[in-house]
Amino acid sequence: MKKLTALLVLAACLCSFSLAAVAASGEVVVYNWSDYIPQDVLNDFTKETGIKVVYSTYESNEAMYAKIKLLKGKSYDVVCPSTYFIAQMIEDELLMPLNRAKLTNMGNIDPKLMNLPFDPQNRYSVPYMWGSAGLIVNSAKVDKNSITSWHDLFRPEFKGKIMLSDDPRDTIGMALLATGSTPNAKDEASLKKAFNFLEKLRPSVRVFDVTAGKRAIVNEEVIIGLIWNGDAQLAIDENEDLAFIYPKEGVPLWADNFAITAGAANVENAHIFINYMLRPKVALRCLEEYGYSTPNLKALKLMDKDLRSNRILNPTAADLKNAVMLDSLGEAQKLYNQYWDKLISGK
C-alpha cells in the first residue's frame, strides 16, 4: 500500500512537472513603450519561468497601432496601448479576450481604473501604469514657483527654449486645457482654439519630440516644456535643477494597459507574463525605476516614505484638480488628425 502511495505521489509530481515544463517553455513576444520595464525584471521573469522574453519598444500609440494593424494582430503577443487606443483595437479585432482565470493577480489593481467604458469588465486589457503630461522647467534659469500655467510658455525668456511632445493627444490635450476646454473635446471650435495656441507657440519651440526632449531638457538646450511625469523623473535624476510642475489649468492623464494581440502565438505565456507584471513587488520595481504611477494597490502599500511623498509619481488631489483622463475620440479622431497634420506640416 505504502509503495502504491509512493508511486502515486511520484506520478503526480512527474505530471505536474511536465505541465509546468509545457507552460514554461518557449517565448513571449512583448511590444511595449520604451523605458517602461527594467531589463532586470524581464531577466528575473525568464529565470523564474523559463520563458524567454523577446522584447521591443515603441515611442507612441500611433506607431504601435499602425504596426499591429499592418500585421493583423500577429507577430507580437503582448502590447501596452493607452486606454484611448483600446476601444479602436477591439473594434478592429486586433486584441484577444483575456482568460481571467489565468490572471490571478488582477485583484491587486485599483477598481477605479477597471471596468471603464473603453473596455467594460476588462475583457481585453489590464492597467499597467498611469501618469500625466505636465511641465518641466529648469529652476536654475527661472524661478520655478513663478510657473503655474501653460500660458507661462509664452514668456519671452522661453523663446526658442521650449520643447513639446510629438504625442498628439498630450500636446493637443494640453492646448485644449490651456484654452479652457477638455482634452477630450469633440467640437471643432475647441480644437481650433487649441490649434491657435500651439501655432502661436510654435516659433518658440526648439524640440518637438518626446524622445529627443528628454535629452534636450537634461542638456539644457531647452529650459521648459511638456513631458510625461516618468520622463521628468528620469531627467531630474540626471539634472537636479529640473522640476516638474502641474499647471493650474490641469494636465492630460493617461493609463497604459497590457493586452494580448488577436493573433498571438504564445497565448499561455502572454498570460503568465501579464500576471507576473501584476505582482506587487514587480510593479514596485517598475515604478521605482521609471517614475510613473501604479494602479497596483498592493504595490502602493510597499512604497517607502520617499516614494510616497514624491509628487511626480504620487500626485496630490490638488495637483490633479483639473486633470482629465484621455478618452477615445470616436469620429472626432479625424478632426484631431487634421489639426495635428496641419500643425506638424506648418501648412
| Residues near ligand N2P (CB under 6 A) | 33-36, 82, 228, 230, 254, 256
Q: How far is the CB of 214 from ligand N2P (least distance, A)?
A: 9
Q: How far is the CB of 22 from ligand N2P (least distance, A)?
A: 33
- Closest to ligand N2P by CB, 158 vs 290, is 290
Helices (H), the chain: 2-23, 39-49, 61-70, 83-91, 168-178, 188-201, 210-218, 229-238, 267-277, 280-290, 297-302, 305-308, 333-345
- Closest to ligand N2P by CB, 60 vs 190, is 60
- Closest to ligand N2P by CB, 85 vs 339, is 85
- Closest to ligand N2P by CB, 254 vs 336, is 254
List the grid coordinates of 183.
482634452
- Closest to ligand N2P by CB, 51 vs 227, is 227
The backbone torsions φ and ψ at residue 338, rounded to the nearest 5 degrees and listed phi first, read -60, -50
Per the CB < 8 A criterion, the answer to whether 78 and 126 are in contact is no
Q: How far is the CB of 34 from ligand N2P (least distance, A)?
A: 5
- Closest to ligand N2P by CB, 233 vs 266, is 233
Q: How far is the CB of 33 from ligand N2P (least distance, A)?
A: 4
List the grid coordinates of 168.
498628439
Residue from 326, 328, 265 nearest 88 by CA:
328
Q: How far is the CB of 253 from ligand N2P (least distance, A)?
A: 10
Angle between helices 168-178 and 188-201 in degrees, nearest 10: 100
- The Cα 238–Cα 281 span in angstroms is 25
Q: How far is the CB of 173 from ligand N2P (least distance, A)?
A: 12
By beta carbon distance, the residue nearest ligand N2P is 33
Going by DSSP bridges, is the β-strand pair 27-33/52-58 parallel, antiparallel, or unpaired?
Answer: parallel
- The Cα 86–Cα 55 span in angstroms is 21
- Closest to ligand N2P by CB, 33 vs 65, is 33
Q: How far is the CB of 78 from ligand N2P (least distance, A)?
A: 15
Residue from 269, 209, 168 nearest 34 by CA:
209
Q: How far is the CB of 233 from ligand N2P (least distance, A)?
A: 11
Q: How far is the CB of 95 from ligand N2P (least distance, A)?
A: 17
Residue from 216, 199, 209, 228 nearest 342 by CA:
199
Rg (CA), the chain: 22
Going by DSSP bridges, is the β-strand pair 224-228/125-138 parallel, antiparallel, or unpaired?
Answer: antiparallel
For residue 190, which amino acid is it?
S
Using CA of residue 301, residue 302, residue 303, residue 305, what is the dihedral sign? positive
- Closest to ligand N2P by CB, 132 vs 269, is 132
- Closest to ligand N2P by CB, 64 vs 98, is 64
